[in-house]
Chains A and B, each alone.
Chain A
Amino acid sequence: NAGVTQTPKFRVLKTGQSMTLLCAQDMNHEYMYWYRQDPGMGLRLIHYSVGEGTTAKGEVPDGYNVSRLKKQNFLLGLESAAPSQTSVYFCASSQPRDRGLLWPYEQYFGPGTRLTVT
């Protein structure tokens, strides 16, 4: 199994350009997430999805859109890139959390996409 993969690994954009980051997982997970990681800020949740066809906002959703048309894929779009969106983007997936809270809840992360907006 490849686990969680992300495309591309690196990208440089000019201000105002658009792009889509692709995340794919082959573990049949229901839940998928997009995070951004900035120095001293840790991981911040951008958007997430609890199933095919569903999306929801996280902590820092502004300037981003997402789609989950297929269960295995979660796309993150930047319609008009800004320098403040320079960051490392991580995708993650997981199974739904056990409602009985009996089992630990693990998210599986992709290797990241390093995006620079000039």
Chain B
Amino acid sequence: GEDVEQSLFLSVREGDSSVINCTYTDSSSTYLYWYKQEPGAGLQLLTYIFSNMDMKQDQRLTVLLNKKDKHLSLRIADTQTGDSAIYFCAESPRSQGNLIFGKGTKLSVKP
């Protein structure tokens, strides 16, 4: 079955890099996603990566994909207090018309 696993918490100091890790089970997902949920708000798509890519960079964000190990990571460079949020990894298996979300990683950024 489909299952997306993430650690629940991560704490970093402002200015450091944050790395949020995720493992997924369904290798048929064409895209893998990172969603961000700020306090008191809904989820918003942060970035995504096509399954044929190993890496995608977008300003301070770097997504790494290891298809062999079914491992996805999100690196935030120069983490700011405004990056404090819950980050959800998600996959979209071919067999389903939906997204499968992880439980979310709560990122806390200390000044």
Interface residues of chain A, those whose CB is within 8 Å of chain B, are 4, 31, 33, 40-43, 45, 48, 50, 90, 92, 96-97, 101-102, 104-107, 109-112
Contact = CB atoms under 8 A, between A and B. Distances in A.
B101 A90 contact: no
Interface residues of B, number: 22
A105 B91 CA distance: 10
A101 B42 contact: no
Contacts, number: 51
B24 interface: no
Given A31-B97, A45-B98, A96-B97, A40 B103 contact: yes
Interface of B: 8, 30-31, 33, 40-45, 48, 50, 88, 92, 94, 97-99, 101-104
Describe B's contact surface by its main secondary structure: loop
Contacts of B104: 42-43
A114 B66 CA distance: 37
A42 B97 contact: no
A32 to B, nearest CB: 12
A48 B50 CA distance: 26
B97 A50 contact: yes
* Max count, chain A CB within 10 A of own CB: residue among B31, B42, B44, B48: B42
